[in-house]
Amino acid sequence: MCNCLINLCLCKFNFLFIVQGDFRKTSFPDESFSKVYAIEATCHADDLSKVYGEIYRVLKPGGVFACYEWIMTDKYDESDRYHRQIYRDILVSNW
């Protein structure tokens, strides 16, 4: 089970609402956002299809989803000192 929670800041009519919840299943109506973003979050999900399915569900037609994640690929070489340094730098910058 994923224990990941999201904090959504919704700005509507000059009011800010913060909602915390499970990013695999939200209570928002279909097609309720024109823009959705995720920063270093979806990589913690136990089932990416649920997360991205939920993003797709709440996006309005023609909406935009922006995301970035730190990931390790099969090109990572543990024996390469430079690779290890990049990995450590990413970990340190995220704390």
Q: Which domain covers residue 86, as residue numbers?
A: 5-12+30-93
Q: Among 72, 94, 69, 95, which residue's Cα sits nearest to residue 84?
A: 72
Is residue 40 a part of any domain in this protein?
yes
> Is 24 among the domain residues?
no
Q: Is residue 17 part of a domain?
A: no
Cβ distance 42 to 52 under 8 Å? yes
pTM, two decimal places:
0.65
Number of domains in the chain: 1
More confident residue, 76 or 91: 76
Q: Which one is predicted more confidently, 73 or 93? A: 73
In a domain, 25, yes or no: no
Mean pLDDT over 18-24 rounds to 79
Q: Please say whether the dihedral angle defined by the alpha carbons of residues 12, 19, 45 and 41, taken in this order, is positive or negative.
A: positive
pLDDT in tens, 27-74: 889 998 888 888 888 877 888 899 999 999 999 999 999 988 877 889
